[in-house]
Structure 1
């Protein structure tokens, strides 16, 4: 498990703790300077190694040389210094192992220890944070070792009595429990962070896949649009040019009429190409929703072709994703284009129906109709509608009979 992030966080906190200790040492020297003095050397002994630790903790050179053991070295030295402070406190300040605060002697025995002993909890806990349960174990053992060293020095100096040994037991328990709890919480946080990072990477890969799929769909969509516009017009122009070539030698008048017809075909093809490009650029579903986009398309189709178009909705607003709504819109658009080009219809009906189980869109005309089984695989309009329906898991049905019109229905089950 990667613990680099936790070590960086623990190192930042340790630097703050170190800065606070240096400030305490500086304030102690100032008080000694304006007071009676006599303990300056002890404050210098407290301050000097911490200044060195501050350099080791902040200079990049040490971090590069020590690597992942940078924090471990700092915390180990900090525990040693804390143990020395704990051992020297009764010698320097006197009293029954109570440190410089005489009021603490009136508290319970479990609290009658030098404050320096409790400060050992900080590096022991940070060891658990940065290095997990192993760090908590090593940090707690080191802290316990130096507290016991403090007990030995205090007893040897005659300033500790057995009743205060209860405080040692409390400290040892805290050195065992608190770093372990912190290490467990830190490991849990690391696992959650790694899971989040893994989920983020999967999401990025999924987004890249979706993007590539969208690009592929747009290419297919563009291919269908070009086939149904420019390809038809250019094919007709090519056939007419062959006719002009044959007519020039035998019937110049007919050739001139064919050339005029070619001009009309070229203009019609240009208009269709412009319409297709405009349709590719604009996404009316995003701005108006599926119902509004279908209604607007029906109005535009009626104005452009002169055919009567009825638009009908059944149910409420469809509960669709943006991609599903866009697919249904494009299927309806392709069905209307087929009506315009081939059906020779007089009336068209568009129906959008939605229920809790399904959403369906149908386009029905009263045109000449055809036999669906005779439609070849090269008819890109119908093939494109089937492809779009398949991409979103919908079912597309095409019903038509000669002289009975055509109905295209796309049903998406919820």
Structure 2
């Protein structure tokens, strides 16, 4: 939804458009009137008394000498003053706070009525020229009224737009009716007013529909952003939960196993301590060996969780180190096929590839009972990582394959990186994990 700041900003833009239009009109009047030789004494064309051709205007005596450019100066002085005050109001935070909810309607009323009052009262006695006719009067106020129409359509409903179009025309015709404009020109004004009203309603309906559509899109976008924020938050929590589960599995497979073995060995050594001291020392030695192995495995697991290998060595060496380390520790045959040099990938994509590699290798060494596995990395149109083993496999068509808790996390990582993870496996025929980004 739009904010009050948007309305103030549009009013400020309207003020600058109004001032710019006055400057452009002043330049046009200067160019036009400098090309016309004007007598010092003249009767304004639109202020002739309808009582007879020889009767002087009500506000002028025969042969009265006056400056013909005085109405032009008054027009721009009055219009410029009101437009400048309008601009000051749009920039004054103090005035906006004082007026409160009346701020926007007051400035809208000003920009809608001021051009009409000034045009009807000052423009008719302009010196004879292209812009002193009824059409010229309409052209002097029409652009500003169009801006006012846009402001109404932005802030209010369609009914207000129609009311604005009719009200401005009614105001103008009322002022013309009570003025001293020649009857022949009143019909021209009436014709222009009807055309302008129809045009204002048509344009106003169009603007209102566009504004309504814009508001709907903003509300839809706001709702989509809220849903996206909620989804991102949920996904982040889910990722943290997956990492915690992975850490728990790592600690269970390393530290917990080692501590259990040490505990059993020490209990046995205690039992044999008085009966067979030699055998007791043998169990103590096994406990020490289990302690060293457990400590090394724990350090390895913690190092893997920190992903320092990826930051220090790059993606290729990090994948190679993870695969070779697993093959060495569990006496597996490794086939390694990595692209050299490695392609340039974003940090997020590299992190995803490395994490999927880690998870797939951990599944192989902990669950598959494989003797051989391979890691292949290639990059052409897409970047593809393939990890395959000859282990016991599982039913990949099952919705909830037990014993493979990391598969869901691997899929989530692939989706976050804009990729796709495919897992092919059958019982007794091994498992193939393919990551495509």
The TM-score, its normalising length taken from structure 1, stands at 0.70
Change (3 A) 1:149 1:24: farther
Aligned-partner Cα distance in 1 for 2:248–2:12: 58
Change (3 A) 1:54 1:390: closer
Aligned-partner Cα distance in 2 for 1:51–1:265: 87
Structure 2 SS opposite 1:103: coil
Aligned-partner Cα distance in 2 for 1:173–1:215: 62
Residue 132 of structure 1: how far off its partner (Å) = 3.9
Change (3 A) 1:383 1:306: closer
Aligned-partner Cα distance in 2 for 1:359–1:57: 60
Mapped pair 1:15 → 2:44:
no
Aligned-partner Cα distance in 2 for 1:361–1:102: 87
Mapped pair 1:335 → 2:335:
no
Aligned-partner Cα distance in 2 for 1:145–1:164: 12
Aligned-partner Cα distance in 1 for 2:189–2:355: 80
Residue 148 of structure 1: how far off its partner (Å) = 1.3
In structure 2, what is the equivalent of residue 403 of structure 1?
Answer: none
The number of aligned residues is 370
The answer as to whether partners of 1:129 and 1:186 remain within 8 angstroms in 2 is yes
Structure 2 SS opposite 1:160: helix
Residue 144 of structure 1: how far off its partner (Å) = 1.2
Is the deviation greater in 326-335 or in 391-400?
391-400
Unaligned runs of 5+ in 1: 29-34, 373-379, 401-405
Change (3 A) 1:266 1:282: same
In structure 2, what is the equivalent of residue 232 of structure 1?
Answer: 257
Residue 179 of structure 1: how far off its partner (Å) = 2.8
Residue 296 of structure 1: how far off its partner (Å) = 5.3
Residue 241 of structure 1: how far off its partner (Å) = 1.3
Instruction: Report matched runs for 1:12-51 at 5 Å.
Output: 12-20=12-20, 38-39=70-71, 45-51=78-84
Change (3 A) 1:11 1:143: same
Change (3 A) 1:85 1:24: farther
The answer as to whether partners of 2:15 and 2:86 remain within 8 angstroms in 1 is no
Aligned-partner Cα distance in 2 for 1:90–1:307: 98
The answer as to whether partners of 1:125 and 1:139 remain within 8 angstroms in 2 is no
Structure 1 SS opposite 2:372: strand
Structure 1 SS opposite 2:147: helix
Change (3 A) 1:385 1:352: farther
Change (3 A) 1:306 1:124: closer
The answer as to whether partners of 1:90 and 1:159 remain within 8 angstroms in 2 is no
Structure 2 SS opposite 1:102: coil
Change (3 A) 1:83 1:311: same
The answer as to whether partners of 1:307 and 1:348 remain within 8 angstroms in 2 is yes
Residue 230 of structure 1: how far off its partner (Å) = 0.4
In structure 2, what is the equivalent of residue 169 of structure 1?
Answer: 194
In structure 1, what is the equivalent of residue 215 of structure 2?
Answer: 190
Instruction: Report matched runs for 1:189-338 at 5 Å.
Output: 189-282=214-307, 297-304=322-329, 307-311=332-336, 329-338=357-366
The answer as to whether partners of 1:136 and 1:179 remain within 8 angstroms in 2 is yes
Q: In angstroms, what is the RMSD of aligned CA positions?
A: 4.6
Structure 2 SS opposite 1:249: coil
Change (3 A) 1:67 1:191: farther
Structure 1 SS opposite 2:185: coil
Q: Deviations over 1:100-146 (max 9, x none)?
A: 571246x9x75664613553222223211232424422322232122
Change (3 A) 1:229 1:45: same
Aligned-partner Cα distance in 2 for 1:21–1:104: 14
Q: Deviations over 1:298-326 (max 9, x none)?
A: 3343455554323579xxx9xxx969866
Aligned-partner Cα distance in 1 for 2:291–2:237: 35
Structure 2 SS opposite 1:254: helix
Higher helix share goes to which structure?
Answer: 1
Residue 46 of structure 1: how far off its partner (Å) = 4.0
In structure 1, what is the equivalent of residue 390 of structure 2?
Answer: 364
Change (3 A) 1:87 1:187: same
Is the deviation greater in 221-230 or in 278-287?
278-287
Change (3 A) 1:74 1:128: same
Aligned-partner Cα distance in 1 for 2:425–2:139: 86
Unaligned runs of 5+ in 2: 30-65, 395-401, 415-420
The TM-score, its normalising length taken from structure 2, stands at 0.67
Change (3 A) 1:329 1:183: same
Aligned-partner Cα distance in 1 for 2:274–2:127: 123
Residue 217 of structure 1: how far off its partner (Å) = 0.4
Mapped pair 1:61 → 2:85:
no
The answer as to whether partners of 1:110 and 1:170 remain within 8 angstroms in 2 is no
